[in-house]
Amino acid sequence: MRRHPLLVAGEAVTTSTGGELEVRNPADDSVVDVVAQAGPAELEAALVAASAAADSGVWGSVSATDRGRVLRRAADLLRERAEDFAWAEVRTAGHTIADARWEAGAMADVVDYYAGAANKHTGSVVPTPDPGLGLVLRVPVGVCGLIVPWNFPMLIATWKLAPALACGNPVVLKPASLTPVTAVMLGQVLLDAGVPPEAVSILPGPGSSIGESLVTDPRVAKVSFTGDSATGSHLMARVAPNVTRISLELGGKSAAIVFPDADLEAAVDAIPYSVFANAGQDCCARSRILVHRSVYDDFTAAFAARTEQLVVGDPSDESTEIGPLITEAQRATSLDYLDVARAEGAEVVCGGTPSGPGWFLEPAVVAGVDNEMRVAREEIFGPVAAVIPFEDEADAVRIANDSEYGLSGTLWTRDLGRAVRVGTAVRTGVMSVNTNRSVRTELPFGGFKRSGIGRELGLAALDHYTESKTLFLSAD
């Protein structure tokens, strides 16, 4: 069993007031790692150091070019240690080794991207009637409190850490209690690369105490949260008294919309991965498959047949495509939704069989779904796809938008005009055409409605981690 410290102002703390946290392997429920957990004393020490770092500018006054150099070293270290990260993600999050290797590479790419962006986020000079120079600067926002979930723990951590650090801010990151290991490893990479210790704290600990105290502390200037919509909404209210800046990346119930003119073979081949990858534990999962009535039956049969071919099993096996769910409770939620779907009159066409010793579940295709059913309205966060018929383009847009979420989606069509019309009419932060992928490092990512506020990735993320400051130089 591996033991890990937490990091308080860059210092590895093995004996903490928060005790220890056992981390389990979702593939067999064994305890695989033990992590020191933050208590109030460690949180306070991290915040004292971070706010002193923000005040002294120990990191913020390092030139943006040099901050970029440090992050570039971090990206190189991530590549050197990619296998360690990948296997930790397999062991503690249940990701397949193929996905985890991709994720490890993507982490390095994200850090590289913000290394390059560090000295390119510029302000402006604005003409004014009185003589002088009106300068609009972008300055570090201050201490950043970062909260990440368990579904893509190491990658989502870099989406927050890299732009926050590129902009010169100290960071205090709280990983999900189910998956804290890679966050500590990532903190160590940042320190090894040369980020000043005072600017880096990684605090595993309960969301309800350490997480809540972190985001409500007045020394924290900016909160970035990814997780459940209900938690995000709660946190938005909790940060209001301090008027703390907050960005939220929350849940989804995205649609893959299959038009009859699409390359149906390509759609059938791709769509299972857009909903079942990572065992469906993906905020971008296209868990509603909207299919034109004229091809609905043929598509559903082919989609179910393709789904049955997915290789579910041991995540450390390179040929495995779908690993376990994160916990027994997470699997139970999916199973409950299948019962609800049957009770509401839908048909489970394939999948839905659990297996052990870990939290495996055969991906399930549910047909005959009406968008009013719970299986179509609620984020399940498991391998359950609801296939819903639509009549025409307007109906597809109506159904896609009839959701409290608006995160991602895919249009399957060869009609460019249709792609433009529907792509702009569906209220989601990201829409892809003829591809599953929603997330690209260079492009903004985030949601409408209960899917969140603010955008991560791309240059847009830099705005969250800086504040505008107006400086007027009089020429009188």
Residue 211 near ligand NDP by CB under 6 A: yes
Residue with Cβ nearer ligand NDP (100 or 176): 176
| 373-402 footprint of ligand NDP as x/- string (CB under 6 A) | ------x-x---------------------
- H-helix or E-strand spanning residue 255: strand 255-258
Q: Which of residues 285-324 bind ligand NDP (CB under 6 A)?
A: none
Residue 233 near ligand NDP by CB under 6 A: no
Residue 103 near ligand NDP by CB under 6 A: no
Q: Which of residues 132-151 bind ligand NDP (CB under 6 A)?
A: 147-151
Alpha helices (H) in 172-295, listed in sequence order: 181-193, 212-216, 229-239, 264-276
Planar angle of CA 282, 459, 421, nearest 5 degrees: 65
- Paired residues of 245 in beta bridges: 222
- Closest residue by beta carbon to ligand NDP: 207
Q: Residue 194: is it exposed, middle or buried by C-beta count within 10 angstroms (0-12/13-18/19+)?
A: middle
Long-range contacts of 76-81 (CB under 8 A, 24+ apart): 76/108, 76/193, 77/189, 77/192, 77/193, 78/104, 78/107, 78/108, 78/111, 78/186, 78/189, 79/105, 79/108, 81/185, 81/189
Segment interacting with ligand NDP, rule: CB under 6 A, options 48-56, 105-113, 224-232, 467-475: 224-232
Identify the residue among 96, 188, 224, 231 touching ligand NDP (CB under 6 A). 231
User: Minimum distance between the CB of residue 4 and ligand NDP, rounded to whole angstroms?
Assistant: 16
Residue 176 near ligand NDP by CB under 6 A: yes
Residue 226 near ligand NDP by CB under 6 A: yes
Residue 207 near ligand NDP by CB under 6 A: yes
Segment interacting with ligand NDP, rule: CB under 6 A, options 92-100, 135-143, 203-211, 395-403: 203-211
The tally of CA atoms less than 13 A away on the side-chain side of residue 96 is 22
Mapped onto helix, strand or coil, the DSSP state of residue 179 is coil
Identify the residue among 35, 74, 235, 397 touching ligand NDP (CB under 6 A). 235
Q: Which of residues 177-196 bind ligand NDP (CB under 6 A)?
A: 177-178
Q: Which of residues 341-360 bind ligand NDP (CB under 6 A)?
A: none
Residue with Cβ nearer ligand NDP (18 or 68): 18
User: Minimum distance between the CB of residue 465 and ligand NDP, rounded to whole angstroms?
Assistant: 19
Pull the structure tokens for residue 217: 């502390």
Identify the residue among 228, 328, 370, 395 touching ligand NDP (CB under 6 A). 228
Query: Which is it for strands 255-258 and 409-412: parallel, antiparallel or unpaired?
Result: parallel
Pull the structure tokens for residue 57: 């500018």
Which residues neighbour 36 within 8 Å (Cβ) at sequence distance 6 or greater? 4, 5, 6, 13, 14, 15, 16, 18, 20, 21, 204
Alpha helices (H) in 404-459, listed in sequence order: 416-425
Give the binding site for ligand NDP (CB under 6 A): 147-151, 174, 176-178, 206-208, 211-212, 215, 226-228, 231, 234-235, 250-251, 283, 330, 379, 381
